[in-house]
Structure 1
Amino acid sequence: MDLVNKFLNGLRSALTTDELEELNTAYGATKKDIEVLRSEYPNCPASLISLLENIDGTYWRKYGEKEIAVCILGSDIEEYPYYLLSTQQMLESSKEEEDVSYLLEYEDDEDAVDPRINPEGLFPGKYLHFSDCMNNGGTSRLFIDFNPSDEGVCGQIVRFLHDPDQYEVIANSFDEYLQNLIDNGFNFLDEEE
């Protein structure tokens, strides 16, 4: 896929020598893992599948004898670069409900949940958690939302940010999300250099 190749080429140019050396250890997900992901998430974007076929995660992911931890993704929160979860990490971490309803109870913070997100929450099988920020996801996580509100679109990218808790749509699709990272010159990596 051209977009994924463009993303990977730009990423490799933006990484430090040490990060690139670590990333070069990575390889793609197994066909079996990809098949399981596609069967459980039939709407999974082709660009995410293509990315996983090249790199099956960078979040404390073991490849052979070497474990890597390289942030290769970003969001609208520039100070936090993000790891790509492996196919198996995605499947495992997307099994629990991501509750947004508690935030809707606070009327003084109407921006806590983007209106494009289903107010009932992100349900197992209806979202895919694909990325955690550099502090192991405690501060921010990224999701693909397959069950948006009437105002949203299926496949939109949702960013969770902690303290104060907030769920925000940052792109209408995974393709748009990757293109935004490219267009912004991989600026999420600037903080780490």
Structure 2
Amino acid sequence: MKITEKYLLGLKKAYYDNNGEETWDHFDQIRHGASKADMEKLKEIFPDVPQPLVELLEYVDGTYWRTYSDEEIAFFFLGSDVNEYPYYLLSSKEMIDNQHIAYTYYADYIDRKYEHVEIDPKITDKSERIQWLHFSDCMNNGGTSQLFVDFSPSEKGKKGQ
């Protein structure tokens, strides 16, 4: 069984175990995967996009205020190390549209312009070279905590961190 299949089965079980059967079943009935064109564009921009993320997007093309069957949903889809703050999965289009968001918001940090802010040495110090795939926002106002896949690490890091 693929990692994505295991994850989806576990997520469904978590919803069921927490009185969310109706919520899960409704979501599962209306959701659809990303379009072929959007997936091709995402892979063109991020050729090393992890296969499990591709498979999640093929299952559901985002859960962050996403419209399916004329219904807007906000569905918690990814876990967190802080239990009360799960994450949404962004759509393939949002990932494409956000391809420069890390540079826009974090270039000063990446370039180490703030001495009092500690930055992991696995992260590059050259903001003009960053290639980060923004794939998720936290439920706490969606965006104050974001998840990225880093395809441009420092020499101490590794691609895909």
TM-score of the superposition, structure 2-length normalised?
A: 0.84
Higher helix share: 2
SS in 2 for 1:44: coil
User: Match for residue 12 of structure 1?
Assistant: 12
2:132 is the alignment partner of 1:132: no
User: Match for residue 50 of structure 1?
Assistant: 55
Ranked by relative contact order (alpha carbons within 8 Å, sequence separation 6 or more), the top structure is 1
SS in 1 for 2:106: coil
SS in 2 for 1:78: coil
User: Match for residue 106 of structure 2?
Assistant: 99
* Identical columns (%): 46
Greater Rg, structure 1 or structure 2?
2
Q: Structure 1 regions of 5+ residues with no counterpart?
A: 157-193
User: Match for residue 142 of structure 1?
Assistant: 147
Q: How much is the aligned-residue C-alpha RMSD, in angstroms?
A: 2.1
User: Match for residue 114 of structure 1?
Assistant: 120
TM-score of the superposition, structure 1-length normalised?
A: 0.71
CA separation of 1:109 and 1:31: change in aligned 2, threshold 3 A = closer
The count of aligned residue pairs is 153
1:1-193 matched pairs, under 5 angstroms:
2-15=2-15, 16-24=20-28, 25-96=30-101, 97=103, 98-102=105-109, 104-110=112-118, 113-121=119-127, 126-156=131-161
Cα-to-partner distance string for 1:102-140 (whole Å, 9 max, x where unaligned): 473443443xx211111233856x111000000333320
1-side partners of 2:84 and 2:123: how far apart? 24
Cα-to-partner distance string for 1:72-103 (whole Å, 9 max, x where unaligned): 11233333110000000111122331425347
Give 1:116's aligned amino acid: K
Q: Structure 2 regions of 5+ residues with no counterpart?
A: none
